[in-house]
Amino acid sequence: MTDQLLPVPAMDQEDPFPVAPIVVVGVKVRDFGEVKTARTIDTTIEVGDYVLLELENVLTYGRVFSPPRSQPFSPPMRVMRSIIRKATEADEAAIAHHKKLSSEGKAFCQERALALGLQMKLVEVYGPLHRRSTLTFCYTAESRVDFRQLVKDLARRFNSRIEMRQISNRDEARRLSGVDTCGLVLCCASFLTDFKPVTLKLSRREAVQSGDSHRIGVCGRLKCCLIFEGDDGSPSPSSGPRLIQPTRS
């Protein structure tokens, strides 16, 4: 019996992982920080519109800074906020009240913290959009802060439950945004969705401590982009597919 080669089935030329387009817009949450990409199904949204979205299990608002555009979406993809709906007239009235309340809360909190001699930096004040149950005051501090009297003053002034939330320097940079020495918007403010520990070998830590300041971010910590570098400073290899294949002309 002679060996007979079986015909090789033709390869399917279609992409095994089809890319479905989605519609996204650029939104600045609570008119604060960097413009974020948010998913939407409403193509009538325009620049300047207010929209509602959920953030940290709280219904809040954002303002549209870039018009709807279609882009490919292929899982797995980083977590993307979804717009609930365009703001109605009632929503816009609630947004105006929220902005006024946040502004008054920030001014009063800074005044009282200074009077009480508290060593803290207030970053943001916000609360639920359609109810006045809790006002959250985000702050940074180098050491423990006794804000018991401050909370009493705030609760008496705004007749609300007060939550004092201490955030890290990295979270402050993520909320405020900015441009680093590379000329690009901070990684934490533009595309990172969570903070991973940034660690270096002992020799590289000593280099940082001895004045290797270009590895220190605006937050005063090691830059988040170092997690994408190898020990020799070159880009770390990725197990995923390369998005761009270089060619020689």
Q: Which residues contact 178 (CB under 8 A, 6 or more apart)?
A: 185, 186, 189, 218
What is each CA distance from 247 to 234, 244, in whole angstroms? Answer: 20, 9
Using 50, 70 and 90 to split pLDDT, how confident is the model at 133?
confident
Q: Which residue has the higher pLDDT, 49 or 178?
A: 49
pLDDT number for residue 12:
47
At 156-181, the pLDDT tens digits run 999 999 999 998 877 777 776 667 76
- Rounded to a whole number of angstroms, the CA Rg of the chain reads 24
Domains of the chain in sequence order: 20-87 (no CATH), 93-167 (3.30.300)
Using 50, 70 and 90 to split pLDDT, how confident is the model at 108?
very high
Is the pLDDT at 104 greater than 90, yes or no?
A: yes
Q: What is the DSSP string of 78-136?
A: ---EEEEEE--HHHHHHHHHHHHHHHHHHHHHHHHHHHTT---EEEEEE--SS--SEEE
At 10-48, the pLDDT tens digits run 444 455 445 568 888 999 989 888 888 888 999 899 999
Strand order of the sheet with strand 134-140? 121-126, 134-140, 161-166
pLDDT number for residue 169:
75
User: Taking the alpha carbons of 223, 226, 232, 234 in that order, is the dihedral positive or negative?
Assistant: negative
Using 50, 70 and 90 to split pLDDT, how confident is the model at 9?
very low
How many Å separate Cα 31 from the centre of its chain?
A: 13
pLDDT number for residue 88:
95
Q: Which residue has the higher pLDDT, 7 or 202?
A: 7
pTM of model > 0.75:
no
